[in-house]
Amino acid sequence: MPNSLQLKVWTLIAYVIIMTLISIWLHEGTAPSSLLMAAGAFG
């Protein structure tokens, strides 16, 4: 796997995890929209 692609994948994973944790902490249930935002940002 090229380093650039690997970095992109790990950045996306980290972003999704962070957004999910934030949504849990805020009790807003925004995980699905955060996942869509992450997919849009990296897509």
Is 3's pLDDT higher than 60? yes
pTM: 0.49
Distances (CA, A) of 29 to 12, 13, 26, 36, 39: 19, 19, 8, 13, 17
Is 43's pLDDT higher than 60? no
Phi-psi region of 29 (alpha: psi -120 to 50; beta: other; left: phi over 0): left
What distance separates the 2 farthest-apart alpha carbons in the chain? Answer: 38
pLDDT per residue as tens digits for the range 18-39: 988 887 777 665 556 666 677 7
